[in-house]
A and B are shown apart, each in its own frame.
Chain A
Amino acid sequence: AQKVTQAQTEISVVEKEDVTLDCVYETRDTTYYLFWYKQPPSGELVFLIRRNSFDEQNEISGRYSWNFQKSTSSFNFTITASQVVDSAVYFCALSEAQDSNYQLIWGAGTKLIIKP
């Protein structure tokens, strides 16, 4: 069965430290899509990135980077030189190409606290 695990419930670091949020997924589908969303203290949910299963290239966007490894079924998210504004809950999600209901399977989220 499909599943997304974010084992880190809460992470606290001091500003400017690098931090990695882990995401491990399970799926039987060979074609699937992985997503990261951010939920800042204001409460809205913001899309960060999408990765499909055929593209294992790592992605970098400013201070954010994502490491997709099919061999370990992981899609980890790293923030370099963290800032207080990065404080948020981060969710990882999975969507399978064969799912005709277009469901997203969500991890439980990791609360990231960046201390000044």
Chain B
Amino acid sequence: DAGVTQSPTHLIKTRGQHVTLRCSPISGHKSVSWYQQVLGQGPQFIFQYYEKEERGRGNFPDRFSARQFPNYSSELNVNALLLGDSALYLCASSFNYYNQPQHFGDGTRLSIL
């Protein structure tokens, strides 16, 4: 079975631009979470969606937004990119949103110039 897939794998943007990152969960998983991982740190929680509804939001500015589609895939959008947004963006899926292990993709490496 296919794992969590994320696209693109790498992306280079400049300050002020907008970016959309995409995630396809494992088949049968209804929850998708997004995390940001800067170099040398553990992943930090951004959003969680379950059945197309936002179930949780981390401490990130409003420039970050996300949505989940009827097929449970998800997009993370970041507006007005800053140099500090350079990071690995990870998507994780799970069957439910509260007690099942999360399965991670290998992430999108976003570099801001």
Same complex = no
Interface residues of B (CB under 8 A from A): none
Interface residues of A (CB under 8 A from B): none
